[in-house]
Amino acid sequence: MLAKDSLSWVVTVVILTGIFLTAAFLTGIDLIWYLFYLFLFLTVFVIWFFRDPDRTTKICDHCMFSAADGKVIDVSGQRVCVFMNVHNVHVNRAPISGVVKSITHKKGGYLPAFYKDSERNERTVTVIKSSHGDVNVTQIAGVMVRRIVSYVNVGDELVNGEKIGMIRFGSRVDVTIPEDLDITCKVGDRVYAGETVIAKEKVFKVRK
């Protein structure tokens, strides 16, 4: 399955690949053949990058899931930061059930998304009002293609693991953790959106 709003990218590279293939057959020019192979590679890359695999998320009122695929690069205070490399799935998911309280888009710079100062980059902050309090999901664009796509609107009711948007080509997602939850992940962990638990309710942990 391809990510929402990615069809135009796929169609564009497929058409260009077809054009160069036709031109290469008609002319036999080596340069055009090289361009065909380049765009064939781009076609495969774009289809692979915009993949959107099925995920099974358990309905959980006492825990939070990762909002992104990637590597945990920072756990400080009540915040977990996940860096998505170019090979990761870039569709982001709701870390917790709740209602979309606000969506704020901010323009910014061009720093690589793994830098701490990348908070100055273009970003979208989605606030989810949950039973544990407000949770901020901050999608931070990277240095390549600064384009954040949101799939939700203010007032939407979300279930944990539901798709909320994506960031194109290298990026980072920061999630704030409510005070009544304990963070269960650490720096260096590999996490998957909608599948990896990153925090659990303190009371639930005691009962367990």
| Residue 134 to residue 181: CA distance in whole angstroms | 12
Query: Which residues are annotated as catalytic?
Result: 171
- Residue 129 identity: K
Report the side by side order of strands in the sheet with 181-183. Answer: 63-65, 197-201, 181-183
Q: Which helix (H) or strand (E) holds 113?
A: none
The tokens of 197 are what?
A: 């638990």
* Helix, strand and coil percent figures for the chain, each rounded to 5: 25, 35, 40
Q: What angle do CA 135, 141, 191 make, to 5 degrees?
A: 60
